Structure 1
Amino acid sequence: MSNAQRDEQMWNRVIALHAQVEQRLATTLQRTHGLGLSEYRALGFIAESSAGELRMQDLANRLGLNQSSVTRLVGRLDTAGFAHRDLCPDDRRGVYTVITDTGRERYLAARDTYRATLTAALDEAPDGAAAALRTALS
């Protein structure tokens, strides 16, 4: 088997593991905390920023979303009362997403669930895929 074939097999295992873990995280967060996975991650990035706010473009980059998708995501967070938009005082073109106290509380309430679910999903992954990934990345 060539290196390219081994790389392809390894990458396919990573993709399968990623899909399996993401599905489990999404289902658990939605059922337990009423949050989508992207919403949870957005709240986490904003909550853990130094000022409790992030430029929309920075949030999009961290989430791997395009501008349109992050705008819709922040709209959902705003509707739920978890975050709001604010204009940059120095650059009126710059828009920030600011976490609210309610958003911070929801994120903190969901964080332990997310972490426990992530660990369980990785521990239960077939073929030792997660163990191999942990070893490779540590």
Structure 2
Amino acid sequence: MPLINQVRPLIELPTALEHRWQTLRLLEARIEEALSRALQTEHQLSVTEYAALAALGFSDDGGHLRQQFLADSIPLNQSSVSRLVGRLEKLGLTERYLCPQDRRGVYTQISDKGRERLAAARETWVRVLREALGQAAEDPELAPAAVWLSEEAGLSQSR
């Protein structure tokens, strides 16, 4: 019976492109897990719900978007966005309405309650994002991507 290796196995993907893509995916998964835990615990929001509220709250269109634009900005497919918007609407965080000029166009508007939840959750989002990037920067495999992302965003460990 073979002994179980206690050290993480070394995986050498064939090209630098594949390796970098995998590193980016690993970094994203680690950060999303941390964000998910914190948002759910502190604000009862999923990462996708937060992303939708942020897209609406920070849109230059007054807090409302056509659902197709919302889907593209998160990104999610149209049917998933419809379910997401339905959940947010039940929570009183958004409202849906039909476009007056084109009755086929469905818009989603962030509510005042949604803006309040977004403001509170954004503090958690930024804090956890910074912490997760800081932790990833200590992992030799993830450090280049984490440092690059932090530097490009103008983040520093002191903020």
Q: TM-score, normalised by structure 1?
A: 0.92
Q: d(CA) in 2 for partners of 1:135 and 1:119?
A: 11
Structure 2 portions without partners, runs of 5+: 1-13, 155-159
Q: Is the 8 A contact 2:34 2:132 kept in 1?
A: yes
The structure carrying a bigger helix percent of its residues is 1
**In the superposition, relative to structure 1, how do residues 52 and 136 fare at CA in structure 2: closer, same or farther (>3 Å)?**
closer
Higher alpha-carbon Rg: 2
Q: 2:88 maps to which residue? A: 77
Deviation at 1:132, TM superposition (A): 3.9
Deviation at 1:137, TM superposition (A): 7.9
Q: 1:66 maps to which residue? A: 77
Deviation at 1:135, TM superposition (A): 5.1
Paired residues, what number? 135
Which one of the candidate residues 46, 49, 52 is aligned to 2:56?
Answer: 46
Q: Which segments of structure 1 move beyond 2 Å, counting only runs of 4 or more? A: 132-138
Q: Name the Cα RMSD after superposition.
A: 1.6
Q: d(CA) in 2 for partners of 1:37 and 1:89?
A: 31
* SS of residue in 1 equivalent to 2:15: helix
Q: d(CA) in 2 for partners of 1:36 and 1:10?
A: 27
Q: d(CA) in 1 for partners of 2:116 and 2:98?
A: 24
Structure 1 portions without partners, runs of 5+: none
* SS of residue in 1 equivalent to 2:101: coil
Q: d(CA) in 1 for partners of 2:66 and 2:29?
A: 28
Q: 1:115 maps to which residue? A: 126
